[in-house]
Structure 1
């Protein structure tokens, strides 16, 4: 603030009156140059709250799916500084059809390591289905759409809490912030994520038990002038420059729609439970197999999409899922011939229905598109229990997370 006793900045922008009091405590000479203009980032988030259903729809989220935003500031004490593998580990631990995860990293992380190196660090997390928005407005939209935030001492976690979104802290380095600041109070008050425990149970409990006003006294200090930052900041800047303001009003824009939607992982550990003609599936990203501390899930197999480029998953696949295309029966037969460790292959036919087959039998699956790939796992599970694919034709009900599908399965005639 000072150089040789002189205040350096011509204008010091503050978001809340309490910051001016702390400035008066630490550097009273700078107080005349300070202006409380609010928080333009927070005002844009507030303005965008009515668009939460729109952002969730643009992100490809179903109503019952839970979006978890992991946010990390920069430095050794940040979430990624303390636990750089947390996004991957969390994604691998959570049921893939119930939860989606987005990561909002501070731009200084990529600036320090380089975009290429940071992208390399996150490759495993992305393979587990973690979405890493490419621009600041995209993660802001994710924050509006979120059901819970996992964070640290950065501003995004505080914004999340101020918006009424449930919060879990992965790390809370109180020694890095002013003890009198609102963020210090939040670090002392908010619950911690127990990485040694079951994250799904903790997340569900935190969402269910959440009171959006629990930290209202703390987050009230986000801004003294909510929704007025555009006009106050512009006035302060033009006043400092000695220029006349434009006559048009300064306004806050809402956030644009996120340019990318969740696609999820391309390889899953799948658990199937069959009762008569009803099957219940739970899927986890295959990265769970690379997490030694993850509790084992009994009676599972590996289902892999052909767009997955990680060779290990292709080598270990029990079920291979292909893209739409012509001559699906031939594709199934030739693919299984080239992958001796794979038991079942499936892909959509040109008419949209799926074909599911092993080396002896092929089945047609008529029903919702998403159900076809799920039935491939049912076929595999049934075959491991001694039931050949030829016994499976008929009507089936499939439960997966919050969705229920009905499919009709028929036996395909051999070519």
Structure 2
């Protein structure tokens, strides 16, 4: 009865569109009341879920991204991307993807990427003659590269859950992120060629050099983050703080787009965003603890292994489950609830934990662009002032492209394990 109440309220909350954190809290509280378990369990398990030194880097990376974005980073990254690929057929579409790949190394979140790049690129593409649904769709699709390329909030969560080094998780996402971006650029070029979308003239090597010079300090932030952790010079949390200081100095004194009067607002916005994530982490931990106490993870593993113990089929089934869950559940909540049991299942058939963690995150990133809960879809549809139906129709080629990349990463461990293993040697 208690488990049915828990899952029933959770599904009902998702269907009604109630925020995931509140849905997790209500369903968990109902279960505890029905089971006669003291409600003090909720704050206890919430605290246990967020009592991790590594999680302290989430506020730091969010603050660093907000400081850099406020300091004028978006314009410089878009200019660099346009100088690199804007001259091709459908060049602004390719620029959109390239900008998201560059911006992803700073923001670490797909929503920030979609809002920042989309706010500039969607109106610009519309003015240049591109269909608005295509412009919004490619912005939403490419924004999912952000949490794959380091730094990445989902990768931090996964590192905390699995005990895998966050630095290794960041490296594991680098090649799949680049592969994902290149695949979307090829898809955009094919669509542009088929529909004879506009192209911009080549602006010359001088413009490329100037654009790179303008974006140099922004690009170096990614080098600082990854290099700091991999060198062993700093922990992820210390790196996040250093990145925030770097972002402030570059935004205020190099780019001079960041005004000192705006810093308090940025600090408050970053604190609110980080608090929302950590509350979600805490409540998801309560929900996950209940599932473990009911032996749901073991039941899932036993059910899958009763069907097959073939490694390749198990990977396929895990992908199907995560793709489906990603359509309805927020990424961080899905990771906290499902990652550990699915990791145990994957390890049971010989899948490397680092490899599994990478394609698990990639799965849930694709979910950010699928209805009915695709956050990036809503952001880009709102910017383009189009309906959810219009953007959904336009984004399917990119979703299929990303699924192909997902399968490639899932079945070829090289893409996720090569760089971490190379550095650790």
Normalising by the smaller structure, the TM-score range is under 0.3
Between Structure 1 and Structure 2, the one with more helix by share is 2
Higher normalized contact order (CA 8 Å, seq sep 6+, divided by chain length) = 2
**When the two structures are superposed, what TM-score results if normalisation uses the length of structure 2?**
0.25
The higher radius of gyration belongs to 1
